[in-house]
Amino acid sequence: MDLKNAVRALAALAQETRLSTYRMLVQAGPEGVAAGRLGEALEVPSATLSFHLKELSHAGLATARHEGRYIYYSADYQQMAELMTYLTENCCQGMPQECLTVMEAALGGCCPSQPKRKPARSRA
């Protein structure tokens, strides 16, 4: 991630409704959440929510998918990880592993990686 993209992402999150929306998207997981459900939970009118979701999408922090007449939004976890890496890559007096260890532990609690599948054994 470069400086321009980091500023765009941070600017998108620097507003109460967008930050609350983004946190809900992160909590929802990769399957996302319907826009209507977000609006109800946050008590935000649909036009206002649409504006904020557009800002999050423009910053690369959220993606949308259509299913029938519903639009589901989800957090872009890759972009989130890139932003967090950008913010911590020069931390701890040049020893980023100190910060990254804490961050990885925190992410492991909320965003567990997919379990690796064991290869099928051949019956020879």
Report the CATH number at residue 66.
1.10.10.10
Rounded to whole angstroms, the Cα distance separating 20 from 16 reads 6
Q: Does some domain include residue 115?
A: no
Residues 20 and 42 grouped into a single domain: yes
Residue 111's pLDDT is what?
Answer: 56
Range of the domain at 22: 3-76
- Coil, helix or strand at residue 118: coil
Q: Does some domain include residue 116?
A: no
Q: How many CA atoms, within 13 angstroms, populate the side-chain half-sphere of residue 33?
A: 19
Nearest to 59 by CA among 17, 111, 107, 13: 13
Residues 14 and 70 grouped into a single domain: yes
Which secondary-structure segment (H or E) carries 75? Answer: strand 70-75
Residues 42 and 64 grouped into a single domain: yes
Q: Does some domain include residue 64?
A: yes
Residue 112's pLDDT is what?
Answer: 46
Phi, then psi, of 33 in degrees rounded to 5:
-145, 145
Residue 115's pLDDT is what?
Answer: 39
Rounded to whole angstroms, the Cα distance separating 105 from 86 reads 17
Residues 95 and 35 grouped into a single domain: no
Q: Does some domain include residue 39?
A: yes
Residues 17 and 62 grouped into a single domain: yes
Measured N-to-C along each axis, helices 35-42 and 16-28 cross at an angle, to the nearest 10 degrees, of 130
Residue 91's pLDDT is what?
Answer: 73
Residues 17 and 54 grouped into a single domain: yes
| pLDDT-flagged residues of the chain (< 70) | 94-124
Q: What is the pTM of this model?
A: 0.76
Rounded to whole angstroms, the Cα distance separating 34 from 105 reads 29
Residue 110's pLDDT is what?
Answer: 57
Q: Does some domain include residue 35?
A: yes
CA 118 to chain centre: 29
Residues 50 and 63 grouped into a single domain: yes
